């Protein structure tokens, strides 16, 4: 039954690709600079983190003398958290957003969260590429370790997609789900070492934060960006399991409720 979903999505790959392209273009349509905004925006963001936080505010990681490292640490975490939360939040709303289309057209609905996924992925690719360029320019390029990015991001995306669809289906029937998850995401962000390193936490708090599957994912991404070596693969087992679980549960729920979604909208 999951292969059925997969096949439906594969058959619609053309539609998914065009939708991603369209959504991307729609954002910068009728602006003079066009797609340049897709670069300028993230550039500004990365610059703020790297320059303002790290250089001007002199924030640094404990045990490090190079203030630039904190900027890199911050960017690695914030950019990938941005990817995670964009996928989750947009998937939660995607069925409601396209209620009209779902009610009136017959097409594989699983495309909708996939379009969200690829769109978020595209945005992330742009901003991360800029980030890497900055690292290259400043002589902090992480090199070969970047290869580890792919499996780590795959886990992150799968986890986000699973959660997004899961809550998204619930959200069609109970709008509370979306509201609740919005708040949850904010707490989750601060319970994940992104703006602060895990080491500064008191041991009781560190225990809780370490149990958070996002902690290991972020740690891996930060390690890669800082060029400190390969990520701790064994620590990624638990997020990978969480991702698989969330995705499996999400697709199961989606299969069971897909027809009802049409009736409810």
Partner 1 sequence: MTHSVEVRGLGKAYKHYPSQWSRLAEWLLPFGGPRHQPTWVLKDIDFSVEPGEALGIVGFNGAGKSTLLRIITGTTRPTEGEVRLGGRVAALLELGMGFHAEFTGRQNVVLSGQLLGLGREEIAELLPAIEDFAEIGSYFDEPLRTYSSGMAMRLAFSLATARRPEVLIVDEALSVGDAYFQHKSFSRIREFREQGTTLLIVSHDRLSIQALCDRAILLHEGRLLRQGEPEVVMDFYHALMADRTFAHIRQELNAQGAVQTTSGTGEATIVAVTLANAEGRTSDAGRVGEEVELAVRFRAHVDLPSLVVGLMIKDRLGHEMFGINSHRLGIPIEKLAAGTEYVFRLRFVMTLGEGHYSVTTALTRSDAHVDRTYEWRDRALIFYAINVDKPRFVGCNWLAPQAALELIDAPQGVSS
Interface with partner 1, residue 10, by CB under 8 A: no
30 binding partner 1? (CB under 8 A): yes
**Nearest approach, Cβ of 173 to partner 1 (angstroms)?**
6
Question: Is residue 12 a contact point for partner 1 (CB under 8 A)?
Answer: yes
Considering the rule CB under 8 A, would residue 183 count as an interface residue with partner 1? no
Neighbours of 181 (CB within 10 A): 21
Among 102-110, 114-122, 150-158, 241-249, which window interacts with partner 1 (CB under 8 A)?
102-110
Alpha-carbon distance 53 to 61, whole Å?
Answer: 12
Which one, 53 or 118, has the nearer CB to partner 1? 118
Q: Is 171 in the site for partner 1 (CB under 8 A)?
A: no
Give yes or no for residue 119 binding partner 1 (CB under 8 A): no
Selected range binding partner 1 among 85-93, 105-113, 159-167, 192-200, rule: CB under 8 A:
105-113
Taking CB under 8 A as the criterion, the residue among 58, 65, 100, 234 binding partner 1 is 100
Should residue 179 be labelled a site residue for partner 1 when binding is judged by CB under 8 A? no
130, two tokens? 């800029």
Q: How far apart are CA 85 and CA 255, in angstroms?
A: 24
Cα–Cα distance, 80 to 217 (Å, whole number)? 9
Cβ distance to partner 1 smaller for residue 60 or 257:
257
CB 265 within 8 A of CB 103: yes
Among 37, 174, 190, 233, binds partner 1 (CB under 8 A): 174
Q: Does 3 bind partner 1 (CB under 8 A)?
A: no
Taking the complex as a whole, the smallest distance from the CB of residue 1 to partner 1 amounts, in Å, to 15
Total residues contacting partner 1 by CB under 8 A comes to 23
Q: Is 263 in the site for partner 1 (CB under 8 A)?
A: yes
CA distance 217 to 67: 23
Helices and strands counted in the chain (H then E):
11, 0
Distance CA 187, CA 103 (A): 35
What tokens were used for 40?
Answer: 């300028």
Angle formed by the axes of helices 68-97 and 213-226, nearest 10°: 130
Residue 31 touches partner 1, criterion: CB under 8 A: no
Please tell me the distance from the alpha carbon of residue 245 to that of residue 50, in angstroms, as a whole number: 36
x-or-dash pattern for partner 1, window 241-260, by CB under 8 A?
A: ------------------xx
CB 127 within 8 A of CB 81: no
Nearest distance from C-beta of residue 19 to partner 1, angstroms: 7
What φ, ψ does residue 144 adopt, rounded to 5°? -65, -25
Q: How far apart are CA 181 and CA 158, in angstroms?
A: 17
Q: What is the binding site for partner 1 (CB under 8 A)?
A: 12, 14-15, 18-19, 22, 25-26, 29-30, 100-101, 103-107, 173-174, 259-260, 262-263
């Amino acid at each position: 039954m999951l292969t059925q979903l997969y096949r439906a999505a594969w058959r619609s790959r053309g539609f998914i690709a065009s939708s991603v392209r369209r959504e991307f273009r729609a954002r910068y349509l009728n602006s003079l600079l066009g797609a340049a905004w897709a670069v300028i925006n993230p550039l500004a963001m990365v610059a703020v983190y790297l320059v303002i936080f790290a250089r001007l505010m002199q924030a640094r990681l404990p045990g490090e003398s190079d203030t630039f490292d904190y900027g890199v640490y911050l960017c690695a975490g914030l950019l990938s958290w941005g990817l995670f939360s964009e996928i989750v939040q947009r998937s939660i709303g995607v069925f409601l957003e396209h209620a009209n289309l779902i009610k009136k057209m017959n097409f594989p609905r699983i495309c909708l969260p996939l379009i969200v996924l690829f769109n978020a992925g595209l945005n992330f690719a742009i901003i991360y590429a800029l980030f890497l360029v900055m690292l290259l320019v400043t002589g902090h390029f992480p090199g070969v370790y970047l290869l580890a990015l792919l499996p780590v991001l795959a886990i992150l995306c799968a986890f986000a997609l699973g959660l997004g669809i899961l809550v998204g289906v619930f959200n069609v029937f109970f709008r509370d789900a979306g509201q609740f998850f919005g708040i949850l995401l904010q707490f989750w962000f601060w319970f994940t070492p992104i703006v602060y390193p895990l080491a500064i936490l008191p041991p009781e708090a560190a225990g809780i934060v370490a149990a958070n599957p996002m902690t290991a994912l972020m740690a891996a991404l930060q390690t890669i960006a800082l060029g400190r070596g390969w990520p701790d693969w064994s620590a990624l087992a638990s997020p990978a399991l969480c991702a698989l679980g969330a995705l499996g549960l999400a697709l199961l729920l989606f299969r069971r409720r897909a027809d009802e979604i049409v009736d409810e909208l």
